[in-house]
Amino acid sequence: MRILICEDSVLLREGLVRVLEDSGHEVVAALADARTLEETVEQTMPELCLLDVRLPPTFTDEGIRAALRLRARHPDLPLLVLSQYVEERYASELITAHGGAIGYLLKDRVADVSDFLEAVARIRDGATVLDPEVVAQLLSRRPRDERMQRLTPREASTLALIAEGRSNQAIAATLFVSEASVEKYITAIFQKLELEPDESGNRRVLAALVHLEHGGPQPQTGAGS
């Protein structure tokens, strides 16, 4: 996969280049700031853009604002945002914007190379991959929604794991249930959230976005159905 990196830390930037290239990806550009980001995207046509939230000159939210501009200009371009913290002001807007695959991971997760590369692969395949801490902080700021209140605790836990980008197999392992049970919970979630089948088969992402936009019961992995 062709990947563009925008990260101001030389060590992390070069580390990301090494890890990605060693795993078979092509890094088409590695930028230290967002000044030429949009121009470079036009020139290199990456299949994934990886950005740090904090970039020069203020090291506050330049990266995530750049990601929002890319989402508006190139809605189908998959984006992976890395951060040391959750930038709540723009994170929800970016995650809930219509477009291609999206990931938002805290930098602590990047320390685990296998988890990081798995996240890159899932985003490549069209998944929404969100750090659990990102989900928790965004949910703590969201009002409740009537549809979310229809979910059982087990369904709410399943939906929270979907929002983190987990597969059915991973959800089953986390909740200590069978994959058949997970499929049952997901079917019920789609029905209760009033998500009709669509041509893209994207109801998992839509369900995750409802979860983020409106909040719901917090995950309870030990709760019964």
- pLDDT digit string (tens) for 174-215? 999 999 999 999 999 888 888 766 544 456 766 776 666 655
In this prediction, residue 223 carries a pLDDT of 40
In this prediction, residue 57 carries a pLDDT of 87
DSSP 144: P
C-alpha neighbours within 13 Å on the C-beta side of residue 100: 20
Q: What is the pLDDT of residues 206-217, one digit of tens each?
A: 677 666 665 544
pLDDT at 86 over 80: no
In this prediction, residue 185 carries a pLDDT of 94
Over residues 7-23, mean pLDDT? 94
Q: What is the pLDDT of residues 1-10, one digit of tens each?
A: 999 999 999 9
What's the CA gap between 150 and 93, in Å, rounded? 25
Give me the percent of the chain exceeding a pLDDT of 70.
82
| Crossing angle of helices 153-163 and 179-192, rounded to 10° | 90
Task: Give yes or no for a contact between 71 and 27, defined as CB atoms under 8 angstroms apart.
Answer: no
Sheet with 48-52, edge to edge strand ranges: 26-31, 2-6, 48-52, 79-83, 102-106, 128-130
Q: Which two tokens stand for residue 50?
A: 């990886």
Least confident range from 41-45, 124-128, 216-220: namely 216-220
